[in-house]
């Protein structure tokens, strides 16, 4: 396992639970060492080059920007050998980034768990309810099958993602998950600023229901003043935000515009009402 970060340590624990022998992992930060001790007990910590040389299945669980240089460096140091399976966990890349390793006749795979990780033991159980984006060489059906088998062994569900759409796939899920977290944090912070507590407990049922509804019903689940065409309320929101949370004005306006367009496209908002909402959003 390269490395014992949040993702690598959890996948290592899941693979160990499936019967794989984790012979070594790498990690230098205090947090990585603690995760390795908790999730990969008795697994020795080694430098990345030693891990790659020893393992039959090499898992490169490193940040997106680190991955290309790491693969190139390990390949240049002859850390790969024919017959190895080399996996990375980045959502932004397919198997093209593993080309330096593939020249050593390894089997390259991209396995991206579609889940947020804390690096704690509960993440191993959460893998059982998540999907993993699998990418292999397009014409190599055996490689696709190996990737899918590894995912199933970890208890997750494999979903094939073609190499050419991997960046768009990653943009979509990052937009949904990462920006959702930002949106929720902003809402909670603004409630606290208004003196409303407990903010998280207040919004949790609302947000859970909203997420469930949109996943079940799509745009038909849109609700609120924008989807209803309540222009006066939208103006009031913009006024309050401009006075008390001006840093949220741009994101509120952008998301409200997207909501208006989606509501209009779904037939929830007629053409004139949508135009009124969009005009009001441009007033502030």
CATH architecture of structural domain 6-161 = 3-Layer(aba) Sandwich (3.40)
238 vs 234: CA distance, rounded Å: 6
Reported confidence tier of residue 31, pLDDT bands at 50, 70, 90? confident
Q: What is the mean pLDDT of the chain?
A: 95
Q: Give me the pLDDT at residue 27, please.
A: 80
pLDDT per residue as tens digits for the range 118-153: 888 899 988 988 999 999 999 999 999 999 999 999
Where along the chain do its domains lie? 6-161, 169-281
Q: What pTM did the predictor assign?
A: 0.91
pLDDT over threshold 80, residue 184: yes
111 vs 26: CA distance, rounded Å: 19
Q: Give the contacts of 13 (CB within 8 A, at least 6 positions apart).
A: 39, 40, 121, 124
pLDDT per residue as tens digits for the range 40-95: 998 999 999 999 999 999 999 999 999 999 999 999 999 999 999 999 999 999 99
SS (H, E, C) the chain: CECCCHHHHHHHHHHHHCCCCCCCEECCCHHHHHHHHHHCCCCCECCHHHHHHHCCEEEECCCCCCHHHHHHHHHHCCCCCCCCEEEECCCCCCCHHHHHHHCCCCEEEEEEECCCCCCCCHHHHHHHHCEEEEECCCCCHHHHHHHHHHHHHCCCEEEECCHHHHHHHHHHHHHHHHHHHHHHHHHHHHHHHCCCCCHHHHHHHHHHHHHHHHHHHHHHHCCCHHHHCCHHHHHHHHHHHHHHCHHHHHHHHHHHHHHHHHHHHCCCCCHHHHHHHHHHHCCC
pLDDT over threshold 70, residue 111: yes
Beta strands across the sheet bearing 57-60: 57-60, 85-88, 107-113, 131-135, 157-160
Q: Of 114-118, 207-211, 271-275, which gets the smallest average pLDDT? A: 114-118
Q: Give me the pLDDT at residue 70, please.
A: 96
CA 81, 85, 89, 92 torsion-angle sign: positive
pLDDT over threshold 60, residue 1: no
1 vs 59: CA distance, rounded Å: 5
Reported confidence tier of residue 2, pLDDT bands at 50, 70, 90? low
Q: Give me the pLDDT at residue 179, please.
A: 96
206 vs 193: CA distance, rounded Å: 19
Region 22-40: what's the mean pLDDT?
86
Q: Give the contacts of 10 (CB within 8 A, at least 6 positions apart).
A: 39, 117, 119, 123, 124, 127
């Amino acid at each position: 396992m390269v490395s014992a970060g949040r993702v690598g340590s959890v996948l290592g624990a899941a693979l160990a639970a499936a019967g794989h022998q984790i012979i070594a992992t790498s990690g230098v930060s205090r947090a990585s060492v603690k995760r390795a001790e908790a999730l990969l007990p008795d697994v020795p910590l080694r430098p990345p080059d030693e891990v790659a040389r020893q393992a039959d299945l090499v898992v490169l669980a490193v940040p997106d920007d680190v991955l290309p240089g790491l693969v190139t460096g390990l390949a240049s140091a002859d850390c790969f050998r024919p017959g190895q399976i080399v996996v990375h966990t980045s959502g932004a890349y397919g198997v093209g980034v593993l080309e330096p390793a593939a020249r050593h006749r390894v089997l390259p795979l991209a396995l991206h768990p579609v889940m947020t990780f804390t690096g704690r033991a509960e993440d191993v159980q959460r893998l059982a309810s998540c999907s993993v984006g699998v990418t292999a060489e397009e014409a190599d059906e055996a490689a696709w099958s190996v990737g899918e088998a590894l995912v199933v062994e970890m208890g997750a569900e494999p979903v094939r993602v073609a190499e050419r759409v991997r960046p768009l796939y990653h943009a979509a899920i990052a937009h949904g998950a990462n920006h959702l977290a930002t949106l929720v944090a902003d809402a909670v912070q603004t409630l606290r600023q208004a003196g409303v507590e407990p903010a998280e407990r207040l919004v949790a049922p609302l947000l859970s229901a909203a997420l469930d509804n949109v996943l079940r019903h799509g745009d038909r689940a849109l609700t609120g003043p924008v989807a209803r065409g309540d222009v006066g309320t939208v103006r009031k929101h913009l006024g309050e935000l401009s006075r008390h949370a001006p840093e949220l004005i741009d994101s509120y306006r952008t998301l409200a515009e997207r909501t208006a367009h989606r509501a209009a496209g779904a037939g929830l908002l007629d053409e004139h009402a949508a135009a009124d909402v969009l005009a009001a959003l441009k007033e502030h």
